[in-house]
A and B are shown apart, each in its own frame.
Chain A
Amino acid sequence: MKQTAQSVVPCVDAVRTNRSAALRKRLESFSAALLLVCTPLLTAASEAPPESAISPPASAAPRDDGQWTMPAKNYASTRYSELTEINEGNVKNLQVAFTFSTGINKGQEAAPLVVGGMMYIVTPFPNIVYALDLTKPGAPMKWKFEPNPEPAAQGVACCDVVNRGAAFAGGRIFFNTLDGHTIALDANTGQPIWNAHIGNINIGETITMAPLVVKGKVLVGNSGGEMGVRGWVKALDAADGHVVWTAYGTGPDKDVLIGPDFRPHYDMDKGKDLGVTTWPPEAWRIGGGNMWGWISYDPDLNLIFHGTGNPGPWNPDLRPGDNKWTSGIFARDPDTGAAKWFYQWSPHDLHDYDGINEQILLDMNWQGKPRKVLVRPERNGYLYILDRTTGEVLSAKPFGSVNSSKGVDLKSGRLIENPDKKTGTGKVVRDICPTASGLKDWQPSAFSPKTRLLYIPHNNLCMDEEGVEVNYIAGTPYVGMNVRMIPGPGGNRGAFTAWDIAAEKPAWSLKENFPVWSGTVVTAGDVVFYGTMEGWFKAVSAKTGDLLWQFKTGSGIIGQPITYRGPDGHQYVAILSGVGGWAGAIVSGDLDPRDATAALGFVNAMKDLKDATTAGGTLYVFRLP
């Protein structure tokens, strides 16, 4: 891997130096030639990696062009930048380049995008898209687009009215609105090209995820696992927005797009119409399994990978059975949606362990053999390594405090539940770790092929749960659980852990007072960026975790940092500040901490957040002086 890293850096530097030179046209053709020379070099390096190398497949993580066109950086979801101008030595000098107020005081979970000389940000409800011109001083607004979503949608969004970002492809910006629209805009002008209405708020459907564009299709899933909404993923034609295929998270095989190509690795996932037979009669129709998180794509295997959310209602006594295909992961053909394999992280989920976190696609040697793997820090507390060609679990190790289960049986693939922590109607079960929000929720991790570490922002919380009866009324919550959360062992409610994938153990871990609800980015300069809910934006060493620099922003941070090369050739780091989300709902929703069950129990663990930060919504961009 050292080989690859070394060959990358001179190539990037050469291109950048050339840009600033005088004879631009001639040099541009020269740099193009250099690229051609560099590319085979890179390919050669990745073809014969050393034994210990862990790196994403080149097809899913092409050479860094300094842009940031999708929230996960690339299809392999590494959130790794090859830029090196900002590094361990000089990051302490970072200063603000410019700021921009989004005008919305709700949880800012989105990743900004950078394409060419433009930056694009999408706000929480009402989902305004801003385009900022990076070529001009202070990055003035070039255009904005207001989709005017239905205000009533705010009443069916379970955990603040967040949006996790847009995606760029083919000159268009694709994004979702809370009230169930996917919209394509002309990236230059902000003019809408198409607007597809795919979600219905009157049955509780919303959309909060960032779309992913794969092979001319915009992939979108719905939210609503707390409202008895049946989950789906849709592929929309990027050209005109019509629905090409829909794959449901529950129900008969034909709805889930399970056909002759479906070959799950474990016996528990084999059988006909399991999405119906593993439920009480008709319960699958209101059973959740929503797809509101992250999708990865492997062009070589022609597979997309996406998780499925929790089954509904939360009270497990009301839905005996394995509740397929909730709290699991699918591999699908992006052209047809046909399922190739499935694995269930949490069969018959007891604790709202959605399975929708990010999956990082990597190639590595596992027990002496090269394997195509998928790494998933999962909500139930385990760091899974799966063979992404088959869905076989190679490793599942807890990356924090877990007592709700006792490990994963690698033979059957099944999570071994702890019977002491089993919830049900009319009984209070105490000190269940992790909480409903998981050891790690949606907040995406980052992987550096240089350090071979996965950087995981996560929570450290436990909870008491009591199952209660619940009625299904379409468009209203369908939860059936009283929850109150408390800080986990050690008292720190959050942690930032660097996980050694090959060694299956943490390299280092930082304690944070509040849950680390922000995403993270790691660079070839060996710097990792993340934010805290107090509002600190931090840079730590990718090797040791030592704090190198921090900056206090206006509000708590729950967004996804990115880094890019600006039109002036210099490296920038950007983050949206603005507290909210499920963890920050106490502030963005002005909730009352005297009720331990407020915000599905999260408020009980966040009683002091109102004293630590206030709502906001500001973009911060940093650079070296």
Chain B
Amino acid sequence: MRHGAAMFLFTLLTLAACQREERDTRPQSSLGSGEQPMPVTTLEPGGQRPSASDNKAASFEANAFHLSEGKRLFSWFNCSGCHANGGGGMGPALMDQKWLYGSSIENIHATIRDGRPKGMPSFRDKIPDDQIWELAAFVRSLSGNAPSSAAPQRNDDMMPHPSENRMPDAATLGKSP
């Protein structure tokens, strides 16, 4: 009897451990939706307003599947052609703590969707909206802004830098809190 109870408990625990994060394997097909306006500055005359957040953001951030998809798409849509593997080239570096147009996932999503005037193209009509969110989540992981349990691990390709799940948070790198 006791043996049976232990067995039951063990099975329960095992099943609970099998609980996986949700995978939304069929992203929205529509292009360039999500029209939330995103300020690209923190300067608000008279004081800050509450930062806008998108209800989609939370479901993409810190999600291993979406991060891994973002990494694949980062090469697929030639992001890596300009930003290399985060160190930059034609475009700015993405693995440092410097952000021209905001560091939140909403900011990055808006940057990819709408483009920016000094050379960032607008991908509104090229990439489905959910895939833009996946890219934005992955971009944040390049500067250590994703939990190490969810960020991608080592590449199958030439290793350009430590894998994303080992990247330190660029904002606090080498600084005491």
Question: Which A residues are within 8 Å of any B CB, using their own CB?
Answer: 151-159, 226, 428, 464, 466, 468-471, 473, 475-479, 482, 484, 585, 589-600, 603
CA gap between A599 and B82 in the complex, in Å: 8
Distance in angstroms between the alpha carbons of A597 and B93 in the assembled complex? 11
Whether the Cβ atoms of A589 and B88 lie closer than 8 Å is yes
B 127-169 binary contact with A (CB < 8 Å = 1; else 0): 0000000000000000000000000000001111110000000
- Residues of A contacting B86 with CB < 8 Å? 592, 594-595, 598
When distances are taken between beta carbons in the complex, the residues of chain B under 8 Å from A469 are 75
Which chain B residue lies CB-closest to A313? B81
In the complex, A466 Cα to B159 Cα: how many Å? 10
- Where chain A touches its partner, the secondary structure class is loop
Given the complex of chains A and B, what is the CA–CA distance between A477 and B121 in angstroms? 12
User: Quick check: B89 and A594 within 8 Å, CB to CB?
Assistant: no
Q: Which residues of A are found within 8 Å of B119, using beta-carbon distances?
A: 151-156
Q: How long is the Cα–Cα vector from A154 to B88 in the complex, in angstroms?
A: 13
Contacts A/B (CB < 8 Å), 20 sampled: A151-B118, A155-B82, A155-B90, A155-B121, A466-B158, A468-B75, A470-B81, A471-B78, A478-B81, A482-B85, A590-B88, A591-B87, A591-B89, A591-B93, A592-B88, A592-B93, A592-B96, A596-B85, A596-B159, A597-B84
9 closest residue pairs by CB, A with B: A155-B119, A477-B81, A595-B87, A598-B87, A592-B93, A154-B119, A476-B78, A597-B160, A592-B87
Q: Are B93 and A464 in contact (CB under 8 A)?
A: no
Q: Note all chain B residues with C-beta closer than 8 A to A157.
A: 90
User: A593: which B residues are within 8 A, CB to CB?
Assistant: 87
User: How close is B74's CB to chain A, nearest CB, in angstroms?
Assistant: 12
Q: Among B120, B126, B157, B162, which residue has its beta carbon within 8 angstroms of that of A468?
A: B157
Q: 18 other contacts beyond A226-B81, A476-B82, with CB at 8 A cut-off?
A: A152-B119, A154-B118, A155-B90, A155-B121, A156-B119, A464-B158, A476-B121, A478-B81, A484-B160, A589-B89, A590-B98, A591-B89, A592-B96, A595-B87, A596-B160, A597-B85, A600-B84, A600-B89
Chain B residue nearest to A483 (CB atoms) is: B158
Return the contact of A156 from the options B85, B90, B161 (Cβ within 8 A).
B90
CB contacts (< 8 Å) of A226 on chain B: these are 81
A residues within 8 A CB of B82? 155, 476-477
Flag if A482 contacts B158 (CB, 8 Å): yes
- Which secondary structure dominates where chain B touches chain A? loop
Are the C-beta atoms of B93 and A598 separated by less than 8 Å?
Answer: yes
A590 to B75, CA, bound (A): 22
A596 to B93, CA, bound (A): 12
CA distance A455 to B105 in the complex (A): 52
Using a CB–CB cutoff of 8 Å, the interface residues on chain B facing chain A are 75-78, 80-82, 84-93, 95-96, 98, 115, 117-121, 126, 157-162
> Chain B nearest CB: distance from A566 CB in Å?
39
- Write the nearest CB–CB distance from A200 to chain B, whole angstroms: 14
The residue that B118 contacts in the complex, of A152, A159, A594, with Cβ under 8 A, is A152
B91 CB contacts on chain A under 8 angstroms: 155
Q: Which of A466, A484, A595, A596 has the most CB of B within 10 A?
A: A595
Q: Are B118 and A595 in contact (CB under 8 A)?
A: no
A153: chain B residues at CB < 8 Å are: 119
- Which residue of chain A has its CB nearest to the CB of B91? A155
Give the complex CA separation of A103 and B85 in angstroms: 31
Complexed CA–CA distance, A149 and B109 (Å): 27
Chain A contacts for B157, CB-based, 8 A: 428, 466, 468, 482
Chain A minimum-CB-distance residue to B167 = A594
Q: Are B88 and A591 in contact (CB under 8 A)?
A: yes
Alpha-carbon separation in the docked complex, A361 to B175 (Å): 58
Q: Give the residue of B84, B98, B120, B121 whose beta carbon is less than 8 angstroms from that of A598.
A: B84
Specify which chain A residues have a CB less than 8 angstroms from the CB of B89 in the assembled complex.
Answer: 158, 585, 589, 591, 598-600
Cross-chain contact B78 with A478 (CB below 8 angstroms)? yes
Tell whether, in the assembled complex, residue A151 and residue B117 are in contact, meaning their CB atoms are under 8 Å apart. yes
In the assembled complex, how far is the CB of residue B83 from the closest CB belonging to chain A, in whole angstroms? 9
CA distance A473 to B119 in the complex (A): 15
A471 to B72 Cα, complex, angstroms = 12
Q: Given contacts A482-B157, A598-B93, is CB(A603)–CB(B76) below 8 Å?
A: no
Q: Would A477 and B78 be within 8 Å (CB), given that A155-B120, A595-B95 are in contact? A: yes
Cβ-closest chain A residue relative to B98: A590
